[in-house]
Structure 1
């Protein structure tokens, strides 16, 4: 008796699962970058550090790390200001290149989990 193979195409479901997993991974990665930047953000009263947030736009598959105080950009860009040891200007910009491998691994792990 011949066997007739059946193939079920689940392409749209796989794509949806991969996108959802990528968004989860991007949020984990953004939170990782936020945590690393909080270790460097200059502290006077802690307001700037507490204003940090990580977010993901699931439709566009983009993530962001931001600090929401009126002076966040000024503190970030002022290379001449003095800060406590370990605290520095460019507190956000400097951590992403150093953590790029971890960021990629976090995203990839979520996608692998969803597709396995």
Structure 2
């Protein structure tokens, strides 16, 4: 019998990183459907990233007003747009993100 444990471990880790990237992009897409819009600069600044080494994903927006727009519940937004756009997108899509990661790992183990 040949041992392929290291190869399998690498394949699973790579698959998990791919799944995390898909999951982060999914959360970003969902967040973008409700992110406050004026000239869409906030929406365009959104990015999904993955740290392959630590297997951590991040979704962020990079404008000077991203945090206040997210946190200030007293701001008025256009219909269908809201504060907590990123937090809610993550909380509402946890199962989908887990499914995306699991699907990539299953594919790697075929």
- Is the TM-score greater than 0.5? yes
Ranges of 4+ aligned residues in structure 1 off by more than 3 Å: none
- Cα distance in 2 for partners of 1:78, 1:44 equals 16
1:107 is aligned to: 101
Which entry has the higher C-alpha Rg, 1 or 2? 1
Local SS of the residue matching 1:55: strand
1:76 is aligned to: 70
**What TM-score comes out, normalization by structure 2 length?**
0.98
Number of matched residues? 110
Local SS of the residue matching 1:93: helix
Q: Deviations over 1:27-81 (max 9, x none)?
A: 0000000000000100011000000000000000000000000110011001001
TM-aligned CA deviation for residue 85 of structure 1: 1.1
1:93 matches 2:87:
yes
- Cα distance in 1 for partners of 2:55, 2:95 equals 18
What stretches of structure 1 of length at least 5 have no aligned partner? 1-6
Going by fraction, where is helix more abundant, 1 or 2? 2
1:43 is aligned to: 37
What stretches of structure 2 of length at least 5 have no aligned partner? none
